[in-house]
Amino acid sequence: MSADGFSNGPPPGARADWTIDQDWEGYSQAEHDVWITLYERQAKLLPGRAADPFLKGLEALDLHRAGIPDFGRINEELTRLTGWSVVAVPGLVPDDVFFDHLANRRFPAGQFIRKPEELDYLQEPDIFHDVFGHVPMLTDPTFADYMQAYGEGGRRALGLGRLHNLARLYWYTVEFGLLETPQGLRIYGAGIVSSHAESIFALDDPSPNRLGFDLVRVMRTPYRIDDFQQVYFVVPSLQSLLDATLQDFAPIYTAVETAPDVAIDAVLPTDRVFTRGAQTYARNGGRSATVRPQ
């Protein structure tokens, strides 16, 4: 098993880069119905909660309500807009494979969809999390550049043994990031926007901290993989996110190396505070540890 827990090669039937055919014709109506249920629920909830670039991307790609979208159809528009394409993979792929895809403007999306009894529970990102959650933002040119820069940074981080710091950057932006707008905070993180419960919790609940994004601060902050986040970081613009990644990370890693992690529920005197959370949710044990809101 290699360092990140994968057997050395791609699974049977997958290509060397771990991609597989989506086989869109192979989806059953029951699988399309799960997509429709999840899509309808979020489409009703997200106006006024999701950031404009996300809502614009959803429209542009017409992730239509009629079921699981065909990657071939999505890619015609997505590639025209920002040069990105969605490729099907069996599930999580090794970090180096993941970064190589991102660095080449390919987003690896799980080909499978969750079962009807798993609507709010997911062990591993499925096609709804990956395509509904991540892909609409890839239609935004600035975010599209950020994701490619992240992929290139990931390859370097692997070489420097700094993956865990970079994974935190991904987690608190791409997965659970919030955007500051004149109308208030809006969601751009895929992990939030693809989760009905967390789309509400992340903006409305008094429990979590909501703090201004700072690259070193984020890299020093651990995260939860089994429950709602205890802290969300807010960027003033997508451009500021891209600018943060276009600098040389070596001095950043040095700064992070000597600084201890920040407690997940801490607010530092240097933090820009949007919400000083009560942490009530986490202190009451959150959800059962086996449930990961998606």
> Which residues form the interface with ligand HBI (CB under 6 A)?
89, 92-93, 95, 98, 108, 125, 154, 167, 170
Strands 184-187 and 85-89: unpaired
In terms of CB distance, is 109 or 203 closer to ligand HBI? 109
Q: Which does 167 bind (CB under 5 to 8 A by kind): ligand HBI, Fe ion, none?
A: ligand HBI
Six token digits for residue 190: 């895929």
User: Which parts of 206-265 interact with Fe ion (CB under 5 A)?
Assistant: none
Supply the minimum distance, in Å, between the C-beta of residue 280 and ligand HBI: 29
Pick one of Fe ion, ligand HBI, none as the site partner of residue 81 (Cβ within 5 to 8 A by kind): none
Helices (DSSP H) in the chain: which residue ranges? 29-45, 52-61, 71-82, 95-103, 127, 141-160, 163-170, 190-193, 196-204, 215-219, 238-245, 250-258, 280-283
Cβ atoms of residues 32 and 67 within 8 Å: yes
Instruction: Please count the residues of this chain forming the interface with Fe ion, following the rule CB under 5 A.
Output: 2
Is the alpha carbon torsion for 79, 187, 273, 174 positive or negative? negative
Tell me whether residue 87 or residue 190 sits nearer to Fe ion (CB atom). Answer: 190
Residue 226 beta carbon to ligand HBI: minimum distance, rounded to whole angstroms:
16
Which does residue 185 bind out of Fe ion, ligand HBI, none, counting CB within 5 to 8 angstroms by kind? none
| Cβ atoms of residues 82 and 136 within 8 Å | no
Rounded CA-CA distance 127/27 in Å is: 12
Closest CB to ligand HBI among residues 170, 176: 170
Which phi and psi angles does 106 have, rounded to 5°? Answer: -115, 125
Nearer residue to ligand HBI within complex by CB, 190 or 235: 190
Instruction: Tell the smallest beta-carbon distance from residue 89 to ligand HBI (Å).
Output: 5
Which residue's C-beta sits nearest to ligand HBI? 98
Dist CA 73 CA 211 (whole Å): 38
Which one of ligand HBI, Fe ion, none is in contact with 93 (Cβ closer than 5 to 8 A by kind)?
A: ligand HBI
User: Mask of contacts with Fe ion, 117-156, x by CB under 5 A?
Assistant: --------x-------------------------------
Measured distance CA(290)–CA(119) in Å, rounded: 14
Q: How far is the CB of 285 from ligand HBI (least distance, A)?
A: 27
Half-sphere exposure of 40 (CA within 13 A, CB side): 9
Q: Residue 177 binds which entry of ligand HBI, Fe ion, none, with Cβ cut-offs from 5 to 8 Å by kind?
A: none
- 176 vs 249, which CB is nearer to Fe ion? 176
Please identify, using beta-carbon distances, which residue of 165 and 275 lies nearer to ligand HBI: 165
Minimum CB separation of residue 254 from ligand HBI in Å reads: 21
In angstroms, how far apart are the furthest CA atoms of the chain?
55
**Nearest residue to 17 (alpha-carbon basis) of 130, 127, 99:** 99
β-strand partners of 158 = none
Nearest to 85 by CA among 35, 29, 17: 17
Name the residue nearer to ligand HBI (CB basis): 170 or 232.
170
Q: What residues make contact with Fe ion under the rule CB under 5 A?
A: 125, 190
